[in-house]
Amino acid sequence: MGTSIVSQEYEPQGSDSAYMQRALELAERNAVGVSPNPAVGAVIVRYGVVVGEGYTQPPGGAHAEVMALQQAGGKARGATMYVSLEPCCHYGRTPPCTRAIISAGIADVHFPIIDPDAQMNGRGKDELQAAGVGVHIGKGEEQARSLNEAYLKHRTTGLPFVIGKFACSLDGRIAARSGEAKWISGPESQEWIHQLRTRVDAIMVGSNTLLADDPLLTARPGGNEQGAHQPIRIVLDSQGRTPTTARVLAGPSRTIIATTDRTSSDWREAIEGTGTEVLAMPGKDSRVDLQILFRQLAERGVMSILVDGGGVLLGSIFDEHLVDKVIAIISPLIIGASDAPAAVAGRGAWRLADALCLTSVTIEKFGKDIMVIGYTDESYSRSILKQT
């Protein structure tokens, strides 16, 4: 990502809201590769002039506040900092940002939300105030929560933020009767999804999808995986059907095969022989226990998972109430056929009154496709974040 610089396109507006918006913009624009840290942007203003900007670097690199302070230099003394999350006050891979802010002589700090991490949760605010720094909280709260929704859920619940994604025909099919499923969606929406893959920690599919499509599961924005941030690839395979020749076992990123402890030890050893990690655990109804798996992944620092099919896996995570966000790409095709696979299987709803209703829905058009994005349940995804 390199050293952050003051954008020549940005003209200071002279208001707290405008400076905070700029900090949020820096965080969002440069969010790739910062996990398990949150995406954070910072702006330093002195006498109405932006004298420093920064955004969090990949793990081990400087945080946004320090990047902005380095750029501001001596001009930071007496200035105001706008940062998109409460500054950290603990030692991790880097020293505390609060101490850097205090040492630089920053007079006031504005941030939209408290960091719910157990080592933080208001301690950064308290340390700044104890040192005589003015602290102002609240502006940009909704956008800040949306920007770091995966981080906030992970820190609040100990679980990853889960995105259920599928591409289907108008009649809800994800493949033809023959099983052919490639290219239901058009190139514009495919490009959008590949950009999304660079921003999640992991991408997950079931063994049915792996056997039908032999996918790479890599991020290929612009058609090229070179230089793109790659998610961990996870395959759920309860029966030990993944062949050692599967393309997902090679390539530029880690792969995890999640299975049950009842699968053949010979098969597991063969998969491990390819350099792939096999994560075996007790099964639930002879399948991988998703609750256990997702918690284990969260403990490893996986904050966000893009579940990319197929219908059986998506049905399972919906049945287990593990989905936070849905991305549905609908292509203007009619496939028909009662035995063509549906986008979401599982137990589902017995009555319409029990059907899942998305909230905070947005709709976008990508070429011939329509993309519907929504949250599964306000009380589970968004309102949890508002409690932090």
C-alpha 340/C-alpha 179 separation (Å) is 7
- Find out whether 371 and 332 touch, Cβ atoms under 8 Å: no
The residue whose two tokens read 């670097």 is 57
User: Which residues are CB-contacts of 338 (< 8 A; sequence separation ≥ 6)?
Assistant: none
Question: Residue 163 pairs with which residues in a beta bridge?
Answer: 306, 325
Closest to 325 in 3D by CA, of 169, 150, 155:
150
C-alpha 101/C-alpha 89 separation (Å) is 10
Give the C-alpha distances (Å, rounded to integers) separating 3 from 24, 58, 87, 257, 335: 17, 12, 19, 37, 50
Question: Is residue 65 annotated as part of the catalytic site, yes or no?
Answer: yes
Do strands 80-83 and 41-46 pair parallel, antiparallel, or not at all (unpaired)? antiparallel
C-alpha 120/C-alpha 132 separation (Å) is 19
C-alpha 88/C-alpha 98 separation (Å) is 6
Helix (H/G/I), strand (E/B), else coil: 252: coil
Q: Which two tokens stand for residue 58?
A: 């990949």
Given 65, 86, 127, 149, which residue is catalytic? Answer: 65
Burial of 141 (0-12, 13-18, 19+ CB in 10 A): middle
Strand stretches in the chain, DSSP E: 41-46, 49-55, 80-83, 108-111, 134-137, 161-169, 202-206, 232-236, 255-260, 277-281, 283-284, 287-288, 304-307, 325-331, 359-366, 369-375
C-alpha 265/C-alpha 204 separation (Å) is 23
Burial of 257 (0-12, 13-18, 19+ CB in 10 A): buried
Rg (CA), the chain: 23
In degrees rounded to 5, what are phi and psi of residue 268? -60, -45
Whether the bond between 36 and the residue before it is cis, its omega within 30 degrees of 0, is yes
C-alpha 255/C-alpha 269 separation (Å) is 15
Annotated catalytic residues are: 65
